[in-house]
Amino acid sequence: MYNILMCDDEKEIVEAVSIYLEAEGYKVFKAYDGSEALEIIANEKIHLLVVDIMMPKVDGLNVVKKIREFSNVPVILLSARTEYNDKILGLNVGADDYMAKPFNPLELVARVKSQLRRYTTLGNIAVPSADADKLISGGLVLDTRSRTVAVDGEDVKLTPIEFHILRFLMENMNTVFSTSQIYEAVWKEEAFASENIIAVHIRHIREKIELNPKEPKYLKVVWGQGYKLEKI
């Protein structure tokens, strides 16, 4: 059973979404502001968080920032505002997905399932490596079995989305992919305004795996075309 934390200052939304999630067999923990959410996360094993951006005490963005200091659990942000910048800002602080209010609870449940699949499984793509569980480029090692990444022997913490982007690129080293191709391969849906979304995640990955993100050794941009993971 997966534990889902649903956090929104609108209690009607929390109760309605909880009904749908519990019907799918999830255990739902409920919070109505950011402080309550952080307290629950500190005391319970949470596998996924759904959190509203605009909340009293501690807002959703600051909740995500604090969580990312110690955990890579998937986070879906909610917002009543429709500005596209909200989505980019949420991804910048470490969220994995975003939904604008009002939303269909069934779509939210589908996104929860999708994020949990990415978090707990890695698909069935064959790995072209002498070690069937590892993808290697120089000092960069991605282990598909343990879902870990290391650079020069030092562990690197990636969010589930960052991990899947990196894995996709490492499975296809030296191949250039557009932002739309990366989005469709990882999100499994048609790309829409994907350029900024992928750019944000690529920047985060570089900050974690590159010694000098401004002069990357592994994750290269091919101007006008996209990105590639260079085989070293």
pLDDT in 10s for each residue of the chain, 232 residues: 799 999 999 999 999 999 999 999 999 999 999 999 999 998 898 999 999 998 888 888 999 988 888 888 899 999 876 666 777 777 888 888 888 888 999 999 999 998 888 776 543 333 333 455 789 999 999 998 888 999 999 999 998 889 999 999 999 999 999 999 998 888 877 766 667 888 999 999 999 999 999 999 999 999 889 999 999 8
Q: Minimal CA–CA distance to 222: which of 156, 184, 186, 169?
A: 169
**Which pLDDT value is given to residue 196?**
82
Residues 139-174 as b or e (16 or more Cβ within 10 Å = b):
ebbbebeebebebeeeebebbbbbbbbbbbbbbbbe
Would you list the domain boundaries of the chain? 3-120, 134-229
Residues 6+ apart with CB under 8 A from 42: none
Residues 6+ apart with CB under 8 A from 139: 151, 152, 153, 232
pTM of the model: 0.60
Strands (E), 10-166: 27-31, 48-52, 75-79, 97-100, 134-137, 140-143, 148-151, 154-156
Kindly state the helix (H) or strand (E) to which residue 227 belongs, with its residue range: strand 226-229
CATH topology of domain 3-120: Rossmann fold (3.40.50)
Tell me the two tokens of residue 7: 């956090």
Strand, helix or coil for residue 106: helix
CATH of segment(s) 134-229: 1.10.10.10
